[in-house]
């Protein structure tokens, strides 16, 4: 029986208001497909209430029950369907030829330049419009001038792959002009120049700041503050239940991006999830049962490999993001770091969530930047925000700086 593209991704809305939508993916399998799908689900602001995975190595079947979070979020389900479909292997021979010749080319990068009058929450408002238009922010350079103006440089890619058309570029700028209103001075969108590639290889932070942001001491301090979180984060490895699979039983605190983080590790470690069940959250905690195999289709029997895998998973469960506030001369700087996939993709919606937290706290951002930094075992995406400490700013009033870190953490990790 021939299968049509319409049957690959199906999205069925809930019967009643508040019921989860059911996303079904039924397609040829490929390495890391689950991670790629969950990344898109997270990009669209959807929370996975429960899920099931199954594959025979050639064909996979995935069912996810999802709800918008917050519930007031308007989801473009048609766009979601197209984005999920774009991840699925094609039935056509051209797809496999493309895989053998090195895979698809990265999407073209465009430079969005926004020049406007400054106001509180401006960076988040621009970011929100870009997210709604299916534009992914790859890099940012935000600068505030002494006369109260802001120059925003957003390096973006287009999930719809339409920015090469004039109508898409003009439509994007028009959305931004309407949102900015009288504050807008100019808005331009064009293909990014070669200078972006030069900047990409540079570390965006000093070694001293990197040591503080990525140190094991920071990990110990943040996890020791929540003993229940550590105690209830457990991973059990069972090689007795199945003759052909290793069973991972995971229990941990439910948090934003949890399923994506776990599948990201399995993708980066070349672990194949043959069967998987994501149970509904109970009292704020999640249980996952994953039947896994090595890349060669065998169990994970080596104790060293088991320990290494569990260690990576536990770090993602307990501390998927690093957040600190530090002094840069007389100024205060907020830094957020998250590990990058081996494919080079960073975690979705981090810039959106951090700018939302700062807007909620009514903290103005003097400058902002997104860059990369490499440590011994991984690459990180680093978000830097130079915070305004002018008179009347919450930073100089009764709100302590550690409260800002807590609020950013809650926005990044909480549903």
Q: What is the full DSSP assignment across 146-158?
A: TTSEEEEEEEEEE
pLDDT for the residue numbered 120 = 87
CA nearest 377: which of 270, 272, 269?
269
* Residue 157 to residue 43: CA distance in whole angstroms: 14
For the chain, the first-to-last Cα distance in angstroms comes to: 42
* Residue 198 to residue 213: CA distance in whole angstroms: 24
Does the CA dihedral 399-400-404-409 come out positive or negative? Answer: negative
Tokens representing 332 are 């205060």
Long-range contacts of 140-143 (CB under 8 A, 24+ apart): 140/351, 140/368, 140/369, 140/370, 141/368, 141/369, 142/365, 142/367, 142/368, 142/369, 143/367
pLDDT for the residue numbered 331 = 80
The three-state secondary structure class of 238 is: strand
pLDDT for the residue numbered 95 = 46
CA 267-268-274 angle, 5° bins: 25
Per-residue CA distances from 16 to 13, 71, 151, 331, 378 (Å): 9, 13, 45, 51, 44
pLDDT for the residue numbered 393 = 60
* Residue 291 to residue 295: CA distance in whole angstroms: 13
Residues with Cβ within 8 Å of 103's Cβ and at least 6 positions away in sequence, in order, are none
Tokens representing 83 are 């984005």
| pLDDT in 10s for each residue of the chain, 415 residues | 344 456 899 999 988 888 999 999 999 999 999 999 999 999 999 999 999 999 998 999 999 999 999 888 999 999 999 999 999 987 544 444 454 444 557 789 999 999 999 988 999 999 999 999 999 999 999 999 989 999 999 999 998 899 999 999 999 999 999 999 999 999 999 999 876 654 555 567 888 888 888 875 555 555 445 545 555 789 999 999 999 999 999 999 999 999 999 999 999 999 999 999 999 999 999 999 999 999 899 999 999 999 999 999 999 999 899 999 988 777 889 999 999 999 989 999 999 999 999 999 888 898 999 999 988 888 999 999 999 766 556 565 445 678 889 999 999 998 7
The three-state secondary structure class of 352 is: helix
* Residue 271 to residue 319: CA distance in whole angstroms: 21
Q: If 0-12 CB within 10 Å is exposed, 13-18 middle and 19+ buried, where does residue 123 land?
A: buried
Residue 272 near residue 295, CB atoms below 8 Å: yes
Residue labelled with tokens 């890099």: 139
* Structure letter (DSSP) for residue 203: B
Tokens representing 261 are 């983080």
Residue 14 near residue 20, CB atoms below 8 Å: yes
In the chain, what is the greatest distance between 2 CA atoms, to the nearest angstrom? 70
pLDDT for the residue numbered 184 = 96
Cis peptide before 70 (omega within 30 of 0): yes
Residue 379 near residue 346, CB atoms below 8 Å: no
* Residue 157 to residue 15: CA distance in whole angstroms: 35
CA nearest 98: which of 86, 90, 109?
90
pLDDT for the residue numbered 3 = 44
The three-state secondary structure class of 369 is: strand
* Residue 362 to residue 133: CA distance in whole angstroms: 25
CA nearest 246: which of 312, 306, 308?
306
pLDDT for the residue numbered 233 = 85
């Amino acid at each position: 029986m021939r299968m049509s593209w319409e049957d690959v991704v199906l999205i069925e809305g809930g019967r009643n208001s508040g019921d989860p939508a059911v996303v079904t993916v039924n397609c040829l399998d490929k390495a890391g497909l689950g991670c790629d799908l969950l990344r898109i689900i997270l990009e669209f602001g959807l929370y996975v209430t429960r899920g099931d995975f199954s594959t025979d190595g050639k064909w996979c079947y995935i069912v996810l029950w999802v709800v918008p979070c917050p519930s007031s979020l308007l989801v473009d389900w048609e766009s979601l369907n197209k984005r999920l479909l774009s991840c699925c292997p094609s039935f056509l021979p051209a797809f496999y030829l493309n895989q053998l010749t090195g895979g698809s080319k990265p999407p073209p990068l465009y430079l969005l330049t926004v020049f406007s009058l400054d106001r509180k929450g401006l960076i988040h408002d621009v970011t929100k419009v870009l997210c709604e238009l299916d534009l992914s922010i790859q890099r940012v350079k935000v600068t505030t001038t002494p006369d109260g103006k802001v120059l925003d440089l957003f390096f973006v890619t287009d999930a719809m792959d339409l920015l090469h058309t004039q109508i898409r570029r003009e439509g994007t700028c028009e959305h931004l002009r309407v949102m900015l209103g009288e504050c807008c001075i100019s808005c331009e969108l064009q293909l990014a120049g070669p200078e972006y590639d030069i900047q990409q290889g540079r570390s965006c932070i000093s070694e001293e700041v990197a040591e503080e942001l990525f140190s094991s001491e920071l990990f110990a301090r943040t996890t020791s503050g929540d003993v229940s979180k550590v105690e209830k984060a457990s991973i059990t490895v069972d090689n007795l239940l199945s003759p052909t699979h290793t069973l991972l039983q995971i229990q941990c605190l439910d948090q934003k991006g949890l399923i994506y983080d776990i599948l990201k590790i399995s993708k980066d470690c070349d672990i194949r999830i043959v069967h998987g069940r994501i149970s509904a959250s109970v009292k704020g905690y999640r249980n996952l049962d994953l039947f896994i195999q090595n890349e060669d289709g065998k169990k994970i029997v080596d104790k060293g490999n088991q320990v290494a895998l569990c260690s990576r998973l536990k770090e993602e469960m307990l501390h998927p993001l690093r957040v600190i506030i530090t002094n840069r001369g007389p100024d205060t700087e907020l830094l957020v770091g998250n590990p990058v996939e081996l494919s080079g993709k960073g975690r979705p919606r981090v810039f959106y969530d951090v700018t939302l937290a700062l807007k909620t706290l009514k903290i103005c951002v003097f400058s902002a930047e997104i860059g990369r930094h490499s440590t011994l075992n991984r690459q990180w995406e680093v978000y830097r925000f130079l915070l305004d400490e002018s008179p009347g700013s919450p930073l100089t009033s009764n709100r302590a700086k550690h409260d800002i870190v807590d609020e950013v953490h809650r926005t990044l990790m909480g549903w």
